[in-house]
Structure 1
Amino acid sequence: MSAVEEKLAELGLRLPGVAAPIASYVPAVRTGSYVYTSGQLPMVEGKLGVTGKVGAEVTPEEAKDLARICALNALAAVKSVIGDLDKVVRVVKVVGFVASAPDFTGQPGVINGASELLGEVLGAKGVHARSAVGAAALPLDAPVEVEIQVEIAD
């Protein structure tokens, strides 16, 4: 087991299987020393447990927890390409999308769920640049979607 997966276990988490794409794309792609993930929804065992807009049907606290799940799914996608998460040099960028009610402006707090998980699991390697964007709707009516870009060592 990698040190990253040991840290996940210490946090009471486990790396899930890679979420199956819902359209014509792959979960992650490597180019040179970087891996880019596709947007990851908060899927658990192949299912989206919560749907709706943040600030309406979904609370910001629920959405923050969902962003953690998205980040965990993104790590699984990275592992599927590189085989060992200990090869991650650093998370370079996180982009988070929040399906938002018209008056909801707390997108950064929601995406903190993903950022905080990456920091807990990867330590200093998890510190990253980030965008948190409000959206009218996301695939499958998901409240949150997260993609990451990581630098890796061979």
Structure 2
Amino acid sequence: MSETEERLCNAGLALPDIANPAGIYVPALRLDNLVFTSGQLPFVEGVLMEQGGRGKVNEINQAQAAIAARVAALNALAAVKSVVQDLDNVEKVLKLTVFVASESFFTNQHIVANGASAVLYEAFGENGKHTRSAIGVSELPLGASLELELVVGCSF
């Protein structure tokens, strides 16, 4: 087990199996020392988790959506691992983009995104601090409450 995965384990988190693409794309792509993930949904064992608000997020279910963001971040790390073989090769998390399916007038997308940011910090410590965008959208694939993308820099 890599040091990164051990830190996740100590935080009570584990990498899932990589999600199967639902179309003609790859879960992650490496270009030189950068890895870009495709959008990751909060899937647990191939099923969109119910806890994430399953649909539009509002003030009532934003805490559940933050949990869904944690799940999606772990899915993104599994996608990264699929192309770098070992998460210890990740030198720095560069960018996290979180799309939150939001009810009208919901403005706490950044709080939902904190769920994903916390996972990255647990995994990589200071190297897990990143730039971030948290964006409210009207709808996401499969009625998901959120979708996120990740860009990391690696050392090989």
* Fold shared by both chains (TM-score > 0.5): yes
Shift in Å, 1:117: 1.0
CA RMSD of aligned residues (A): 1.0
Q: What is the identity, as a one-letter code, of the residue corresponding to 1:54?
A: V
Map 1:1-154 → 2, pairs under 5 A: 1-50=1-50, 51-55=54-58, 59-154=61-156
Shift in Å, 1:25: 0.9
Q: How many residues align?
A: 153
What is the CA–CA distance in structure 1 between the aligned matches of 2:118 and 2:75, rounded to whole Å?
A: 14
Q: Deviations for 1:14-38, whole angstroms, at most 9, x for unmatched residues?
A: 1100011112211000001000000
TM-score if structure 1 supplies the norm length? 0.97
Identity over the aligned pairs, expressed in percent? 51
- Three-state SS of the structure 2 residue aligned to 1:54 is coil
TM-score if structure 2 supplies the norm length? 0.95
What is the CA–CA distance in structure 2 between the aligned matches of 1:106 and 1:24, rounded to whole Å?
A: 33
Tell me, yes or no, if the aligned pair for 2:98 and 2:149 is still in contact at 8 Å: yes
Shift in Å, 1:135: 0.5
Tell me, yes or no, if the aligned pair for 2:49 and 2:68 is still in contact at 8 Å: no
What is the CA–CA distance in structure 2 between the aligned matches of 1:108 and 1:66, rounded to whole Å?
A: 14
Q: What is the identity, as a one-letter code, of the residue corresponding to 1:39?
A: G
What is the CA–CA distance in structure 2 between the aligned matches of 1:43 and 1:124, rounded to whole Å?
A: 27
